[in-house]
Amino acid sequence: MITKNLNPNQIITLNDYPLHSDTVLNRYFIKCNIGGNVPLVPVIKKETVKKYFDYALLKKFKQFEGQNPKAEYFMLDGSHRTTALTLNGCKIKVIIYRNGKDIREARKLVKTGQVLENDTLNRSLEENSKILNRHFTKKPYFMTVEQKTIKMVVKKILPKKIINSYRNIVKSATIVNDINS
């Protein structure tokens, strides 16, 4: 089992735009803001998932890939968590499913709160990949977590307090990057 900290431009998000619950987003946003631990986000390497795409979807994905070369992982669950972490300028801690053993080990982490109970834990790597294929066949567009978060900020579909906080974080990061250049 591998866990890793990723940037939001490395994760291909689910097409559940906009998010389902401002309440859940707020809870994770506050938790991230105060430095609390957020459960791991399950992901699969894109090479594994691509094997299950039909020709038309693979063609669309290849175009996305060309524009987003750092996007290496497909998210299986965790839109509220990844958005909250991105809005707080944090890395996203993931658990990478490479095989059935990784999924079985992840199941054991539910008791500790490191992994949330979700359907991905009851499916094989192949079944999870096929579900992603069906998901993206119904909604045939791809975005990174970063792109989706920015889109929600720009379209102002997030709570105003969160948007303002994010803009302050982005300004601070820009200033730090300018100083370090």
Reported as a single tens digit per residue, the pLDDT across 46-90 is 999 999 999 999 999 999 999 999 999 999 999 999 999 999 999
Q: Are 57 and 134 in contact (CB under 8 A)?
A: no
Higher pLDDT, 35 or 2: 2
Cα 144 from Cα 166, distance rounded (Å): 17
pLDDT of residue 172: 64
State how far the Cα of 53 lies from the Cα of 61, in Å rounded to an integer. Answer: 9
Residues facing residue 96 across a β-bridge: 2, 43
pLDDT at 21: 83
Would the pLDDT of 93 be above 90? yes
Is the pTM for the entire model greater than 0.75? yes
> What is the residue whose two structure tokens read 């090479």?
47
Q: Tokens at residue 63, please? A: 């175009």
- Specify the pLDDT at position 173: 60
pLDDT confidence of residue 97: 98
* pLDDT tens-digit readout, 9-42: 999 999 876 777 888 989 999 998 888 899 999 9
34 versus 107: which is more confidently predicted? 107
d(CA 133, CA 137): 6
Mean pLDDT, residues 161-171: 86
Interval 113-164: pLDDT, tens? 999 999 999 999 999 999 999 999 998 899 999 999 999 999 999 889 899 8
Tokens 């994770």, residue located:
28
- Give the residue extent of every domain in the chain: 2-180
The pLDDT assigned to 174 comes to 52
Average pLDDT, the chain: 91
Residue 175 pLDDT > 50 = no
